[in-house]
């Protein structure tokens, strides 16, 4: 697979999403080497000198006042890595791990970390040869860097710990040997540069962002199906309504939904003589709610693109010295993760209300109870709706901000932390829940639209229906439902339904 060339300081989210979804390797351009080599030479000179420089010839954290002899600097860095491999819990997903490694390339490529090019080459080679460190996902508080998970990544680079190669688990040392790579021997500051950064939190946040945006796209398509299923009005999509408010996401959401519903026979059938005056908010206010979520996701995206290109270790090699700062503090990532979580939760909250609307015969404008053609004998989608309520509630609880929950660590040296790591990590579970909610909505909406026959929905939405029905048949008599819910969630998560609409999607 052709490597994605990542230009430090200039890489955009589209490139990072390609990496995340494709599993392609990543490389830095040769043009980045001059600055990297220059900073490494300055670190080497500092290590050989007599002046104490944090992390180069001193201990770490609370032990930074202890000077380390020049002959012990390599041992210092290796000890740092081994002692910090304290992660616990399930391993990171491989796609997120590889994205994290690519983000570490970008950070080191800024030429402010002081590592040799050999460090960058080792990460590039492992990505190219599909050697992926097995990294426990719990243990970072998101300040002084994502220390534990990045230590596990670095351990694999030096031949410690375990990795996967083509899906098989191997000791890192033997995997490197079989691939023709030597374990990296860390030079001055290199261990610190590798673990002192926000790449774990940022990788999870980016993965959550990319999947949340796909959920927002699905929400617009599926809510258009729901609007037709309950014979809802398109009047609230009038462009002047949204222009008068002015929010970009709302305007874009309404325009996209207008395009999706244009030409629907169902819509045209009740323009005249419909006794209803207004639809419930979950139909009428979809542009205002999901459009606002889109705006929030774009704000988070701006932060995360900046962070993806940032030098976030400590100390940094600057124009006038090797200076300690605090770029390892993941507060921006923590805020972005909380914003994404709120957006995911709200997209699911309004979608769940549409599911409830569709299965309720008092609200669905003459659709059968629970969307079964033979209610009473059959329960139809009754408990599928209950499942969406359960998942909606889970996501509401998970959306509680994590960035506000600091605690001191490391003998109070690191006395305020971001908690960005688990703030970002929860996003995967929340998106999984949301995919089920939207998948069930799609099932309900399709069942409702088919009840309106011989009237048809629009061509884009009919395409979506056809795609859904190739995987999930219409519900007649009750059947074992769990596989249908799983299949619907997969269609949502993969973007299959949005692609089927053949209508240009809103872009992040």
Which burial class, exposed, middle or buried, applies to 477 when counting CB atoms under 10 A from its CB (0-12, 13-18, 19+)? exposed
- Cα separation, 278 vs 284, in Å, equals 8
Give me the active site residues, please. 54
Name residues whose C-beta falls within 8 Å of residue 195's C-beta, 6 or more positions apart in sequence. 80, 81, 84, 145, 146, 147, 150, 151, 154
What Cα–Cα distance (Å) separates residue 135 from each residue in 85, 97, 98, 164, 482?
Answer: 9, 8, 11, 10, 32
**DSSP result, 179-201:** TT-PPPPP-TTHHHHHHSSSHHH
Beta strands at 4-5 and 88-91: parallel, antiparallel or unpaired:
unpaired
Q: What is the phi-psi region of residue 401: left when phi exceeds 0, alpha when psi lies from -120 to 50, beta otherwise? A: beta
Count of Cβ atoms closer than 10 Å to residue 148 Cβ: 22
Token digits of residue 115: 């590592």
Give 171's DSSP letter: E
Token digits of residue 449: 């639209």
**DSSP result, 33-102:** HHHHHHHHHHHHHHHHSSS--TTTSB--GGGTTSB--GGGHHHHHHHHHHHH---EEEEPPHHHHHHHHH
């Amino acid at each position: 697979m052709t490597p994605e060339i990542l230009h430090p300081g200039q890489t955009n989210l589209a490139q990072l999403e390609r990496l995340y979804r494709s599993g392609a390797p990543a490389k830095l351009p040769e043009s980045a080497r001059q600055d990297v080599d220059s900073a490494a030479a300055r670190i080497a000179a500092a290590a050989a000198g007599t002046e104490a420089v944090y992390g180069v010839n001193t201990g770490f954290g609370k032990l930074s006042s202890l000077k380390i002899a020049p002959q012990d600097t390599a041992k210092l860095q290796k000890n740092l890595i081994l002692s910090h491999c304290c992660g616990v819990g399930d391993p990171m997903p491989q796609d997120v791990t590889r994205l994290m490694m690519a983000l570490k390339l970008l950070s080191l490529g800024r030429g402010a970390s002081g590592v040799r090019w050999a460090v960058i080459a080792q990460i590039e080679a492992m990505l190219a040869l599909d050697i992926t460190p097995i990294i426990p996902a719990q243990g970072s508080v998101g300040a002084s860097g994502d220390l534990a998970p990045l230590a596990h990544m670095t351990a694999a680079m030096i031949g410690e710990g375990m990795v996967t190669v083509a899906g098989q688990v191997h000791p890192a040392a033997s995997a490197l040997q079989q691939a023709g790579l030597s374990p990296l021997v860390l030079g001055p500051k290199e261990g610190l540069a590798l673990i002192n950064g926000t790449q774990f939190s940022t990788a999870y946040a980016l993965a959550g962002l990319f999947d949340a945006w796909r959920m927002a796209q699905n929400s617009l398509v599926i809510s258009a199906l729901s609007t037709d299923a309950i014979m809802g009005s398109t009047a609230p999509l009038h462009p002047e309504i949204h222009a008068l408010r002015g929010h970009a996401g709302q305007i874009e959401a309404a325009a996209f939904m207008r395009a999706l519903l244009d030409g629907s026979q169902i819509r045209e059938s009740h323009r005249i003589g419909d006794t209803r005056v207004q639809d419930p908010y979950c139909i009428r206010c979809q542009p205002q709610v999901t459009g606002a979520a889109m705006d929030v996701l774009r704000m988070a995206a701006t932060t995360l693109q900046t962070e993806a290109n940032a030098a976030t270790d400590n100390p940094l090699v600057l124009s006038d010295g090797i200076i300690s700062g605090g770029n390892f503090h993941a507060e921006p990532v923590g805020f972005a993760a909380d914003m994404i979580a709120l957006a995911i939760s709200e997209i699911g909250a309004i979608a769940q209300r549409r599911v409830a609307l569709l299965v309720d015969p008092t609200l669905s404008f003459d659709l059968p109870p629970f969307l079964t053609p033979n209610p009473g004998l059959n329960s139809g989608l009754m408990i599928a709706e209950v499942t969406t309520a359960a998942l909606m509630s889970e996501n509401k609880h998970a959306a509680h901000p994590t960035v506000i929950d600091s605690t001191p660590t490391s003998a109070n040296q690191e006395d305020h932390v971001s908690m960005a790591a688990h703030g970002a990590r929860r996003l995967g579970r929340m998106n999984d829940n949301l995919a089920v909610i939207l998948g069930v909505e799609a099932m309900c909406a399709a069942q409702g639209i088919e009840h309106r026959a011989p009237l048809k929905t629009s061509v884009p939405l009919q395409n979506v229906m056809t795609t859904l029905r190739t995987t999930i048949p219409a519900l007649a008599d009750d059947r074992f439902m769990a596989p249908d819910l799983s299949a619907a969630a997969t269609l949502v998560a993969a973007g299959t339904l949005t692609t089927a609409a053949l209508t240009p999607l809103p872009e992040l």
